[in-house]
């Protein structure tokens, strides 16, 4: 059986690491053991993923002192409080500085486990085993870890690169449709940022992705990771161009905060955010209406929302965007489009036009 189908190398000097993409990878002992230095491994997962995959991962780690901590599932538990429970487990089992954390689950588990790895004894190794499409194409690359604060998403965290990422496409078979679509939202984003060819491929293959065709999924994951890795390698600490990856996110975070964490999935909020960015780009005369329609069509076909919720009016969205961390010295910066695959980071736009675009919903 051909197990590993693809390897994407994330090139970050001495913090470079591989992403393994394919089927049947989850319980391959070799993928783990080649990356684990000490004898102790803590698997961090959640109550939804644990019954599905924890035992298989533990079997693959049979050669180590393997412990686990099972977190509650959901974005609303992405808090300092939940995060603390990882340290309780590490210290209860007297884990030393050479131990490794394995993050088994979606983006929330990856963010919290990664941030715990960044912080335990000021930094230990970790391996990411993302089990959602969103986590496979997004949190796999970039080393962003962290938790939410009641006043803002991802406000507390660290940059911390994993030793490797193991993205097993089989795990997507247990993902519900809504979660799959939320992952496709980020996939579409990479096309919109700077890969118009990939966007075209997505328009042609969206049905195959929704039908979980393994080949289509593996291609989309690989291409997304390559696109993201290129942006990240050029700007690891997010000084400039990496902000392109926030396409749809400033609008999206405002939606997530406005409706309360966990009501909308992150990918859903980003999808609506990308459509809002597209409408605003058209309003500024930067992009054609035809391109906006292509974007809305693809988002809609992906079973994703194309607009903010009725409950949030323009003023409330603006207020929520003001506290977002992309605000630079008081100026709101957004990722907008000069066309599909031609995104830019800019603070050079008319706030009144933004207000009227938001009011048009």
Catalytic residues: 122, 144, 186, 228, 238, 242, 246, 249, 253, 266
Cα(278)–Cα(336) distance, integer angstroms: 7
- DSSP-assigned states of every residue in 226-273: HHHHHHHHT-TT-SSGGGGGGTTHHHHHHHHHHH-TTSS-HHHHHHHH
Out of 151, 176, 285, 310, the only residue in the binding site for its own copies (CB under 8 A) is: 151
**What is the Cα–Cα distance from 166 to 115, expressed in whole angstroms?**
18
What would the x/- binding string for its own copies be over residues 209 to 248, using CB under 8 A? ----------------------------xx----------
Smallest CA-to-CA distance from 111 within 88, 132, 89, 95 is with 132
Smallest separation, CB 94 to its own copies (Å): 5
Angle at 247 between CA 102 and CA 343, to 5 degrees: 125
* Contact flag: residue 344 with its own copies (CB under 8 A): no
Displacement of CA 166 from its chain's centroid (Å):
15
Nearer to its own copies, 56 or 92 (CB): 92
Q: What angle do CA 128, 304, 293 make, to 5 degrees?
A: 120
User: What is the contact mask toward its own copies in residues 38 to 67, using x (rule: CB under 8 A)?
Assistant: xx----------------------------
Interface with its own copies, residue 117, by CB under 8 A: no
Query: Which range in 25-33, 132-140, 143-151, 264-272 contacts its own copies by CB under 8 A?
Result: 143-151
Task: Report the C-alpha gap between 212 and 175 in whole angstroms.
Answer: 10
Determine if 325 is a binding residue for its own copies (CB under 8 A): yes
Q: Which is nearer to its own copies, 160 or 223 (CB)?
A: 160
Which residues, other chains included, contact 307 with Cβ-Cβ below 8 Å and sequence gap of 6+?
Answer: 272, 275, 276, 361
Residue numbers of the site for its own copies (CB under 8 A)?
A: 38-39, 80, 84, 87-88, 91-92, 94, 96-98, 118-123, 144, 146, 149, 151-152, 154-159, 237-238, 322-323, 325, 327-330
């Amino acid at each position: 059986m051909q197990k590993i189908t693809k390897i994407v190398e994330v090139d970050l000097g001495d913090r470079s690491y591989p992403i393994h993409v394919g089927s049947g990878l989850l319980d391959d002992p070799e993928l783990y053991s080649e990356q684990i230095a000490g004898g102790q491994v803590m698997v961090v997962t959640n109550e939804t993923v644990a019954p599905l995959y924890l035992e298989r991962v533990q079997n693959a780690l049979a050669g180590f002192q393997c412990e686990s901590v099972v977190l509650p599932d959901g974005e609303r538990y992405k808090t300092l409080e939940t995060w603390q429970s990882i340290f309780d487990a590490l210290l209860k089992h007297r884990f030393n500085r050479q131990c490794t954390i394995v993050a088994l689950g979606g983006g929330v588990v990856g963010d919290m486990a990664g941030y715990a790895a960044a912080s335990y004894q000021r930094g230990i190794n970790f391996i990411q085993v993302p089990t959602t499409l969103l986590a496979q194409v997004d949190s796999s690359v970039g080393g962003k870890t962290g938790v939410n604060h009641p006043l803002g998403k991802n406000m507390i965290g660290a940059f911390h690169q994993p030793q490797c990422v193991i993205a097993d496409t089989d795990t997507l078979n247990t993902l519900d449709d809504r979660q799959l679509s939320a992952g496709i939202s980020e996939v579409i984003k990479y096309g919109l940022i700077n890969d118009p060819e990939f966007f075209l491929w997505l328009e042609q293959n969206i049905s195959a992705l929704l039908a979980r065709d393994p080949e289509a999924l593996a291609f989309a994951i690989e291409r997304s990771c390559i696109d993201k890795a290129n942006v990240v390698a050029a700007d690891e600490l997010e000084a400039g161009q990496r902000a392109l990856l926030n396409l749809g996110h400033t609008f999206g975070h405002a939606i997530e905060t406005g409706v309360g964490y966990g009501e909308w999935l992150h990918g859903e909020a980003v999808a609506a955010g990308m459509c809002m960015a597209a409408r605003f780009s058209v309003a500024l005369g930067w992009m054609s209406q035809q391109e906006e329609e292509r974007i809305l069509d693809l988002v809609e076909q992906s079973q994703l929302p194309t607009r903010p919720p009725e409950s949030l009016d323009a003023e409330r969205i603006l207020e929520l965007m003001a506290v977002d961390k992309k605000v630079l010295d008081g100026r709101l910066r957004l990722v907008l489009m000069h066309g599909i695959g031609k995104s830019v980071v800019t603070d050079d736009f008319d706030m009144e036009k933004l207000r009227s675009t938001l009011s048009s919903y």
